[in-house]
Amino acid sequence: MKQKYSPMMMQYLEIKEQNQDAIVMFRLGDFYEMFFDDAIVVSKALDLALTGKNAGVKERVPMCGVPFHSVSGYIQKLIDLGHKVAIVEQLSEPGKKGIVKRGVVQIITPGTIMDTSLNEKRNHYIGALGIFDFNYTLAYCDISTGEFYVVNIDKKEHILKNYIDSLGLKEIVVSEDWSMDGLFISHFEDDHFNDQYKKIFESLSDLKQIKMCSLLLNYMLDTQKRELEHLQKIQEVKTEDYIYMDSYTKKSLELIKNLNNESYGTLQWLLDDTKSAMGGRLLRQWIERPLVNQEKIEKRMDIIEVFIDNFIERETIKDIINDIYDLEKLAGRIAFGNVNARDLKWIASSLNVVPELKHQLLSLNTSYTDELAHQLVDLSHLTKAIDDAIVDNPPLTVKEGGLIKSGYNQELDELRYIRENGKQWLSEFEAKERERTGIKGLKIGYNRVFGYYIEVTKSYLPMIKDEFEYTRKQSISNAERFVTPELKEMEAKILSANDKIVALEYEIFVQLREYMKKDVHLIQDVAGVIAQIDVYQSLASKASQNSYVRPVFNLEHRLHIVNGRHSVIEQVISRQNYVPNDIDMSQEQSILLITGPNMGGKSTYMRQIALSVIMAQIGSFVPADEAHMPIFDQIFTRIGASDDLISGQSTFMVEMLEANNALRYATKDSLIIFDEIGRGTATFDGMAIAQSIIEYIASSIQCITLFSTHYHELTMMDDSFHIQNVHASASIEDDHIVFLYKIKPGRSHRSYGINVAQLAKLPDEVIQRSQVILESLENNNIEKVISEKQEPQTIVKESVVEKALSRIDPMTLSPIEALSTLIELKKLL
C-alpha cells in the first residue's frame, strides 16, 4: 500500500482501525489530539475549536485537542454522552531514532471509568449478564474499590430491571444479543477462566456464576490493559437473604433519593452520620438490601446497643474514623498504578490511627467488638515504609522530583549535594561576573529551553567586551541572554544531577508502590472493618439522638408499634410538633383499612410503618416507644399517582401493573401498602376492583396489608376478611377543617372533601353548590341533582364561608392541596 499520510498519522490510523468503536485520544506532547471524524464529533460534544493538521497530504486533517493534565473532565463528559474512549500514550522516549512508539494503554467505558474522586458515598458498578434457561446471572464489580459480586436472579425481566436499577449500572457486558433501554451494552465473548485470578473465585461453585465473573474479569482486563490485583474475593449475593423491594417501592419510600432525585429527606440522609466514605457506601448497601435473617439482624443490633451504651468510647471512635481517608479507593489506586505520593501519605496517616481504634474497641469488652478489633491487623510496616521515604508535603506529580526524604537513599543524597553545591556555585558565579564586568544588573537565570544563561539588560550591553567570552544565546524585549564556556560546563553537571535525581526519585517511588501492592488486600480488609464500625456508630448515634428503641421480632405475624413516628418527617418538622401513632395488627386482623380526609396523614402513616420495618431489618433501632414486628420477606407499595406518558400508560394502568406485582408475588410474610387503589377509574369500577383486591389478599395471600381508601362502602366488608378499620381524624372549627394527624380506631364517617376544597380557595359559588349536591347525593336524590336547573345564586356578604376563607393565608397553600381538592370534587361529580 502506498503511504498516503505522514508516519505519525499512519500510526494513528493503524490504532484507530483496531478501535473503531471508540474515540481515540492520541498523546502528542502535552496534549491529547483527535483526528478525522473523532475530531468532528468531539469538537461538537465538548465545544472545542476544530482545526486542521498537515499530515503529508494536500488537505489538512480535521483535528482538536485537550491538555493532558485536565483530560479527566473531558473524558467524563464523553462517557456521559455514551462514548468509549481509547487512551493512546507514548511507549518510548522521544529523541531516539525513528518515530515514537505509541499504543492504547486504557479503554474507558461508562462502567470502567476509574473513579478519581475520593470520599464518594456510593459505588460505581459495571455488570456482566448471562441469560440461561431458568435464571439470569449478573456479575458486577466496582473497579475503583475492587468489590466484586455475583447473583442469580429469577428469569423475570421486571426483577432483573429492578436489580439493575438499584445498582445504578450504566454498562453491562453480554456475549449475546440483548438490550435494555438506558444502558450502555458492550459485546464481549472471552469468558475463559483466568488461572492468575483463581483466588478471587474461591467461594464460587456455580458454573454459570464462574462463567459470568470470568466474562466480566476478562473484559476489565482487556479495557484496562493492566493487572487488576486489587480485585477482592467474589461474593455471591443470595436474593433470598434480603427483603425484595421493586424500584417503585424504593422510590416511593424515598430510601436513597427523594421524589426530586435528591438525597435530602431520604432514609439514607437521616441515618448517615458516617465519618468515612467506606462507611457511607456500606450504609447505602444496607439500606438497599435489608436482611431477612433474624440472627444476623440481632447481631447488628447487639453491636449498635454496645455503642449506644458507651457514649464516650463511641464519640472517640467517631473522631478516629473522621481522620481516615478513603482506604478502599486508595488501595485500588495502588494496584491500578495511578497512586501518587500524596495518596500514600493519606494511606499512612489513616493506618496510623488504626491501633487507637483497635484499643477503643477492646476497651468496650464485649465479644462482638473484640471480634471487630482483632480483624484490624497490624500494618505498621506499611506506614513506616511510607513515612520513612516520602516527604511530609509531597507534590501531586511523581515524575518531577521532590518526593523522597533526605537520608533515605545514599545515591540520591549525593546527587542532591552536587545540585545544591551547583546552586551555591551559581550564586558565587553571578557575584564574580558582576565584579568582573562592572554590570550591577547582571543576573543568572534558567529556563527549560535554553538552560542556564547570563541576562544583561540592553542599557548595559555596551559594557560587554570580547575578553569576557560571552556568546549570545537569546534576545528578549529588554535584555540579551549569554553563555560562557565556564557556565556551560557547570550547567552540564547541574542538569545531569537534576535529571538523575528526578529519575531516581521516581524509581524509589515505584519500588515503594510495588512493596505496598503486595498488601493491598490487607488494606482492603482493614477498610472493610472500619466501614462496619462506622455504620454501627452512625446508627447508634442516630438512635441516641432521636430516642429510637430496639424492635422485638416475633413469629406470630404481629405488628405492634406504640407511638410510632415517621423517622424522616419528624426531623424535618421538629420532633416536638410530630404527632405519633400506634399500630396493632395480627394474623386475625391482617388488613388495616384506613379512611379519612386527604392531607390527613394516611400516606405518611403507611410510609412510617414501612420505613420502621426497613430500619429494623437493616439492624437499626426504630422511632417508637415500643415495637414488635415479624420479619418481612418483601415490601410492595402503591402510593401516589403518576402517568407513564412515555409508554402511553395512564395513571390507572400504572396503578394496576404495580398492584399486579404485589398480588402475584407477595407471600404471607410480605408487607403490602396500597394507597387509594382504584381511584383512577369510574367510581363503581374502582370500588369493585378495590374490594376484590382486599378479598384476594385476605383469602389467598394473608399478609399484613395497609389499604387506604375513600370508598367508605369498603369499611362495611364482612369481618371474615380480617379487616380492621381505622381513620385519620379531623375536626371542623367554624367551618374550617383542622387535621389532627391522629390515626384512631373505627371508620371515618366523612371525607371532608368540601372542607379541603375551601382550603384551596375554590370560588364560593362552587363550594356552596357542592354542598347542595352533596346533600342530595346523600339522600339518594341523584336524578334531582342532575335535572334541577340551578339559578345563579347571590353571594351574601360576610357569609360564614367568607369568614372561614378570610382566615386562610393563601401563601401557605401548596399545589398538592389544590390538586387534592379537585380530585375530591371530581369524585362527587
The annotated binding site for ATP is made up of 596-603
What is the rounded CA–CA span in Å between residue 268 and residue 253? 11
Residue type at 716 in one-letter notation: M
Give SS3 for 268: helix
Cell readout for 266 is 431520604
Cell readout for 344 is 500514600
Q: Residue 451 — left, alpha, or beta (φ > 0 → left; ψ -120 to 50 → alpha)?
A: left
95 DSSP assignment: T
Whose CA is closest to 343, among 381, 395, 279?
Answer: 395
The vertex-475 CA angle with 473 and 477, nearest 5°, equals 160
Nearby residues of 119 by Cβ (< 8 Å), 6 or more positions away: 277, 325, 326
What is the rounded CA–CA span in Å between residue 820 and residue 558? 33
Whole-number Cα distances in Å, 807 to 93, 599, 762, 804, 815: 81, 19, 14, 6, 19
Half-sphere exposure of 464 (CA within 13 A, CB side): 20
Give SS3 for 798: coil
Q: Residue 648 — left, alpha, or beta (φ > 0 → left; ψ -120 to 50 → alpha)?
A: left
Inter-residue contact 27 to 102 (CB < 8 Å): yes
Inter-residue contact 474 to 444 (CB < 8 Å): no
Inter-residue contact 754 to 735 (CB < 8 Å): no
Cell readout for 151 is 447473583
What is the rounded CA–CA span in Å between residue 62 and residue 39? 6
What is the rounded CA–CA span in Å between residue 163 and residue 374? 35
Residue 239 phi/psi, 5-degree rounding, is: -60, -30
Cell readout for 210 is 464462574
Inter-residue contact 188 to 215 (CB < 8 Å): yes
**Helix axes of 354-363 and 341-352: crossing angle, nearest 10 degrees:** 20
60 DSSP assignment: P
Give SS3 for 700: helix
Detail the residues annotated as belonging to a binding site. Answer: 596-603
What is the rounded CA–CA span in Å between residue 452 and residue 450? 7
